[in-house]
Amino acid sequence: MLIRFILFSFLFYLLYRMIRYFYRAKSARIKSGQPKVTPATGEDLMEDPACHTYVPVSQSYKKEIAGKNYYFCSKECCDRYILEKKQ
């Protein structure tokens, strides 16, 4: 009878430790907030001279005007800027 009590006590203790371990692992993920994400690499932003928004260089519409490079958010802004310069 004593051996059975010791065995059940030991199994109960193991079950308790397993539940506690999994609960801590889950709560640690929740407390950390957002999942770990590697930070994005930095990229230069250029101001669109027509609408004055900042556009990443890789996503911009690039146009050379009078020997100088200009970066636009779209072709429409580029065309509008060229028309305004002519007037």
pLDDT at res. 37? 61
pLDDT tens for 38-85 read 656 788 899 999 999 999 999 999 999 889 999 999 999 999 999 998
Q: What is the mean pLDDT of residues 20-29?
A: 73
User: Which neighbouring-strand residues pair with 61?
Assistant: 72
Q: Hey, how many other C-beta atoms are within 10 angstroms of the C-beta on 82?
A: 14
Going by pLDDT thresholds of 50, 70 and 90, the confidence category of residue 21 is confident
Q: Determine the Cα–Cα distance for residues 7 and 9; give it in Å rounded to an integer.
A: 5
pLDDT at res. 7? 92
Q: What is the mean pLDDT of residues 30-37?
A: 59
Residue-level length of the chain: 87
| Residue 71 to residues 29, 43, 50, 84, Cα–Cα distance (Å) | 42, 14, 10, 16
pLDDT at res. 54? 93
Going by pLDDT thresholds of 50, 70 and 90, the confidence category of residue 27 is low
Q: Which of 61, 59, 85, 57 is nearest to 75 (CA)?
A: 61
